[in-house]
């Protein structure tokens, strides 16, 4: 990333995870940041075909292939329906953000950060992840 015009991009942490952030955080234009992400996409570690790992890496890298986005949206819609049927009636369907990554706009649906991090909500989250995601899991990016 640094050699492609994002000089303030940090090294991965001690676990090998990439820093999440955007152009503004790293002091470059969004065009420059996206160009660097695109140029470096093939340098991300091989995921061995796991959907969740591929999805996490494309979110961190900011470049998600359309097929992966569609797969995530399908899982996320099913997950949203599950949450609604388990007592969260205003849980939103996923939307695709400006960076091309699907997420749940929970705050836009009137759900507070406090609620989405409560023990009661987390138990519903766990139930629906196991019912809908099976072994692949469900990407739950909440905005």
Q: Per residue of the chain (143 residues), give pLDDT as tens.
A: 888 898 988 887 665 666 667 778 888 888 887 788 777 766 655 434 467 777 777 777 777 778 788 888 888 888 899 899 999 999 999 988 877 888 888 888 888 888 888 888 888 888 887 777 654 455 665 65
Cross-strand bridge partners of residue 95? 103
Render the burial of 65-99: b for 16+ CB within 10 Å, e for the rest: eeebbebbbebbeebbebbeeeebeebbebeeeeb
Contact 26, 11 (CB under 8 A): no
Plot region of 92 (φ>0 → left; ψ -120 to 50 → alpha; else → beta): beta
The whole-model pTM stands at 0.59
| Both structure tokens of 50 | 């796991």
């Amino acid at each position: 990333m640094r050699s492609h015009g994002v000089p303030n991009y940090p090294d991965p942490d001690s676990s090998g995870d990439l820093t999440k952030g955007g152009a503004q955080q790293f002091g470059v234009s969004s065009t420059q940041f996206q160009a660097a992400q695109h140029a470096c996409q093939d340098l991300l570690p091989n995921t061995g075909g796991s959907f969740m790992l591929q999805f996490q890496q494309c979110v961190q890298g900011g470049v998600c292939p359309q097929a992966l986005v569609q797969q995530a949206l399908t899982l996320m819609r099913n997950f949203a329906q599950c949450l609604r049927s388990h007592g969260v009636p205003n849980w939103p369907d996923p939307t695709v953000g400006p960076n091309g990554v699907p997420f749940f706009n929970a705050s836009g649906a009137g759900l507070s950060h406090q609620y989405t991090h409560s023990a009661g909500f987390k138990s519903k989250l766990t139930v629906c992840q196991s019912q809908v995601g099976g072994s692949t899991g469900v990407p739950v990016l909440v905005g």
